[in-house]
Amino acid sequence: MSQFQWSSPWIWGIGFSSLILAMPTGLVFASFIYPQFDVWQHLFNTVLSDYVFNSLCLAFGVGALVILIGTPLAWCISRYDFVGRKHLQWLVLLPMSMPAYIIAYTYTGMLDFAGPTQSWLRSQFNWEYGDYYFPEIRSLTGAILMLALVLYPYVYLLARTAFNEQPRSLEDTAKSLGVSSYTYWFKVVLPLARPAILMGTALAMMEAFADYGTVQYFGVSTFTTGIFRTWFGLNNGMAAAQLAAMLTGFVILLLFVEYFSRRKVKYYFQSQVAKTKQRVKLNNGAGLVVFVLCFIPVILGFLLPFVQLMNWAIDTFHEQFNQSFLKLAWNSFILASIASMVAVSIALLFGYGKRLNQFKFIQVLVGMVSLGYAVPGTVIAIGALISLSWLDLRLNEVTESLFNISVGLVLSGSLFSLILVYSSRFLAVALHNIETGLARIKPSMDDAARSLGYKPILILKTIHIPLLKTSVLSALLLVFVDVLKELPATLILRPFNFNTLSIKAFELASDERLADAALPALAIVLVGVLPVILLTKIIDKPVHD
Amino acid sequence: MLNLHHASVAYKNEVVVDNVSINLLAGQIGCLLGPSGCGKTSILRAIAGFERLSSGSLALRDTVVSDTHVMVPAEARKVGVVFQDYALFPHLTVAENITFGLHQQQKALKQQRMLELLKLVGLFGYENRRPHELSGGQQQRVALARAMAPKPDLLLLDEPFSSLDAELRDDLAKDIRSILKHENTTALMVTHDQHEAFAMADLIGVMSAGQIFQWSNAYSLYHKPVNKFVASFIGDGVFLKAQAQPHNMIESDLGEFELSSEYSFKVGSRLEFLVRPDDVIHDDSSNTLAKVVSRSFQGSHILYELELQVESKQIVLCLALSHHDHRVDEMFGIRLDIEHLIVFTTDI
């Protein structure tokens, strides 16, 4: 422990970046100093109960469904050996590459009255409109289904690790104590995996709360669509910010669940060096059944919508693949590249700051700022827009009085605001990777290199850069893809006339030009597959067999 | 070679090393021995150049490298370090790890030194492996070879055996001692295990609470401890109460003994003297009987814990040949046979 020093450049660097990153979210909470009674009265009498009810239903519906899909999937893949298991391990992660709003409009295209499914049914049975019942995909239930189909991998990944790490000795002990395998499952396996499952569920529920594209497209009123409506419909930024604060309140509750689960996961699985259990080999018949069951989420969450997108994209390719599409792709690429580099640079600053200065202050600051992943993009965007517009006004006042020129909306109307929001929201992703990488470089390695005659700058070159390279690259990739997929914040903050792939896909789909939306959507999905491959490489490493 | 003179190390305002002096001649192997948290690793880090001295001075090869004004950085000290966790670079091969400190030398020289060290530490043929492909003992030897490659003036070893199996430790300690002696390396090791210290070191410093109580060889530590801490930390043994008598005699539950001339106590002072298990002799002809409280079989010997059959009921340890087989609660005769009494006063 070193002494707290105000002179340390780390303190200033980290303090300043944290302040900027936390500003939007902080401002959202500060919005309550200007209470908007009349708007709230109006909201309360009309739509507020809808917002709360629908958002809660969405989050809990998604939560329940991801547990139901993710847990059995993880159990089968971690405990049984069957034909195709190895490939299934990564196939089931593919839905992660599908943004929810893309899968939502793809399914709409497939299941709508005019879509292939209903058309086929009508021609097959000679039905007319009104002759039959067909579930409406554009509903709250539909939104829950869509989100769960792409979010279950959170639960799957964490539960799978938890199941994998349960030592064989536990089951042997239970057997030697005369416990049946049924009792063992409910008394040992499930309680031990519960924190991991809860953690994954909490993460999926946070995403559900944050979703804008799906619910907007399906016409379900939730907090996020409400925030948009209050801002752009009622033209009341403060009330929108207050709604955003309320939404964040729900998310904070989830954050607590996640935090305590994470602590338990650590506690349950500390220093388990024991052998993990051998997988039970299934015979061909049973193996086939399990494979097919496990494959269903892949079909529904990835293959089916992917094939549909491909179809549309091929149909529309000659008219959609043009100069303006390339412009979109280039915009997205530039935006995601800058954002990922900024986020990773900040993560490096934080990671090294934490490593080199064991001040409580820095640790707490870094911990706080990296909670941004939990805050919905809409919320951060609203906060950024309000705070940056205010700063722009002040800035223009200053430049006008000093130089008699106005610089315009340099902060709120430029890419700066987007980069700020992306960094704030995706810092945790980058930081997690950087910290994992840094943990591999033990402090004694620095000491060892110094005792062998290396100056600090040379140590950075020969030890740190080679060892951190992969972590930095994967952090860049993950943030890049997250930015590419991000929708609501980009919608709110993009500069005038600046479009990205995600925005174009969403706009075209909202205009019912589903087939035309396929090309930009497909581009996002294909790039999104990259981190899934990366993740597969990481989890494919043998645990301790 | 190494001259640490009245040195102290402090973190914040807490003094962790307090006025410590050490001298090592070229080729000598020293050891700091003490319980965890006694400050021994801080001394090592100060010598390596990772910590500053808060007072005193440190000289290597008669040149001061650290005192309250001077601070030669670690990379310029020519001090090799073998870390407790080995700190091998995971992205480099064994050969690259070993030659890491030879970056300014020619390729052929590097190669030659690397092969020489690989042979010395018995890892010939492993040069293209990576650290994670090696066992703990092999990693440790790579760490040793890496630290020795640039022929440092002084080699520091921080708990070098702590993460190894007990059986490996003794063998490796002997191996490393002969490697160090072969290269005529001056070395200072830190450990909490006295067996390691005895197996490795020429000179041992027993430490507690930031101070070195005694800096001498293993024989003196065992037979001539300077204080009660050293006496109880090194080897087994108990302290028996005694009282000073005229003519430099002392009286105890196990009889009267004469003190050597180095001691002189006021008659009647209350004293304690050290009784090692091998000082208590199993003797059927003795009138002094003791009752077996517990026993542990050690092959050729049995270590008995005995209760003296006098009012004080003091406990002594007795190392008897294992054919003297007694059960718990049995009694047998003992006699004390101490060549050199170690006596401490309990008066304050």
Q: CA-based angle A145:A146:A148, to the nearest 5?
A: 65
Query: What's the residue count for chain A?
Result: 545
Rounded alpha-carbon distances, angstroms, from residue A221 to A36, A146, A211, B220: 21, 16, 11, 85
- Check residue A270 and give its pLDDT: 52
Please state at what angle helix A323-356 crosses helix A415-440, rounded to 10 degrees: 50
- Check residue B143 and give its pLDDT: 92
Measured on CA atoms in the order A443, A449, A453, A456, is the torsion positive or negative? negative
Minimal-distance CA residue of chain A relative to B98: A452
Nearest to A463 among B50, B75, B89 (CB): B89
> Are the CB atoms for B147 and B81 separated by under 8 Å?
yes
A442 touches chain B (CB under 8 A): yes
Residue A464 has pLDDT above 80, yes or no: yes
Residue A543 has pLDDT above 60, yes or no: no
Residue A211 has pLDDT above 70, yes or no: yes
> Which of A358, A441, A451, A463 should one mutate to test binding to chain B, selecting the residue with the greatest count of B CBs within 10 A?
A451
- Closest by CA to B135, choosing from B163, B177, B99, is B163
- Check residue A4 and give its pLDDT: 52
Determine the distance in angstroms separating the CA of A464 from the nearest CA of chain B, rounded to an integer.
10
pLDDT mean over A65-77 = 94
Tokens of A541: 């490493």
Nearest to A440 among B11, B83, B90 (CB): B90
- Check residue A7 and give its pLDDT: 62
User: Distance of alpha carbon A406 from its chain centroid, rounded?
Assistant: 38
Residues of B in contact with A466 (CB under 8 A): 91
d(CA A264, CA B162): 30
Q: Which of A146-155, A181-190, A370-379, A514-523 has the lowest mean pLDDT?
A: A181-190
Residues 6+ apart with CB under 8 A from A527: A480, A481, A484
Nearest to B101 among A3, A453, A467 (CB): A453
- Closest by CA to A302, choosing from A151, A150, A158, is A150
Nearest to B83 among A1, A447, A463 (CB): A447
d(CA B87, CA A467): 13
d(CA A324, CA A336): 18
Tokens of A239: 């009330």
Tokens of B320: 């008897």
Determine the distance in angstroms separating the CA of B178 from the nearest CA of chain A, rounded to an integer.
23
Residues of B in contact with A465 (CB under 8 A): none
A401 touches chain B (CB under 8 A): no
> How high is the mean pLDDT of chain A?
87
Residues of B in contact with A445 (CB under 8 A): 87, 89
ipTM of the complex: 0.77
Q: Quick one: pLDDT band at residue A48, thresholds 50, 70, 90?
A: confident
Residues of B in contact with A450 (CB under 8 A): 49-50, 73-75
Question: Which pairing describes strands B14-24 and B2-11: parallel, antiparallel, or unpaired?
Answer: antiparallel
A45 touches chain B (CB under 8 A): no
Minimal-distance CA residue of chain A relative to B77: A451
In one letter, which amino acid is A529? V
- Check residue A268 and give its pLDDT: 67
Residue A542 has pLDDT above 70, yes or no: no
Q: Quick one: pLDDT band at residue A2, thresholds 50, 70, 90?
A: very low
**Chain-chain contact of A447 with B85 (C-beta, under 8 angstroms):** no
**Chain-chain contact of A454 with B75 (C-beta, under 8 angstroms):** yes
A124-138 burial, b if ≥16 CB within 10 A, otherwise e? eeeeeeeeeeeeebb
> Are the CB atoms for B187 and B79 separated by under 8 Å?
no
Determine the distance in angstroms separating the CA of A473 from the nearest CA of chain B, rounded to an integer.
16
What is the pTM for the complete model shown? 0.80
Tokens of B156: 């520091």
d(CA A500, CA A491): 9
Minimal-distance CA residue of chain B relative to A445: B87
Three-state SS at B58: strand
Nearest to A447 among B50, B100, B152 (CB): B50
Residues 6+ apart with CB under 8 A from A401: none
Q: Quick one: pLDDT band at residue A284, thresholds 50, 70, 90?
A: confident
Q: Identify the segments of chain B with pLDDT beneath 50.
A: none
- Closest by CA to B22, choosing from B9, B14, B10, B31, is B31
In terms of average pLDDT, the best of A128-132, A142-146, A324-328 is A142-146
> Are the CB atoms for A152 and A95 separated by under 8 Å?
yes
In order, the DSSP letters of A454-508 are --HHHHIIIIIHHHHHHHHHHHHHHHHHHHHH--HHHHHHPPTT---HHHHHHHH
d(CA A331, CA A501): 8
Task: For A406-451, write each residue's pLDDT tens digit.
Answer: 888 888 888 999 999 999 999 988 998 898 888 888 888 989 998 9
Task: For A321-353, write each residue's pLDDT tens digit.
Answer: 888 899 999 999 999 999 999 999 999 999 888
Residue A81 has pLDDT above 50, yes or no: yes
Determine the distance in angstroms separating the CA of B320 from the nearest CA of chain A, rounded to an integer.
41
Residues of A in contact with B99 (CB under 8 A): none
pLDDT mean over A20-43 = 85
Minimal-distance CA residue of chain B relative to A454: B75
A454 touches chain B (CB under 8 A): yes
In order, the DSSP letters of B170-222 are HHHHHHHHHHHHHTT--EEEEES-HHHHHHH-SEEEEEETTEEEEEE-HHHHH
- Check residue A541 and give its pLDDT: 54
Determine the distance in angstroms separating the CA of A438 from the nearest CA of chain B, rounded to an integer.
13
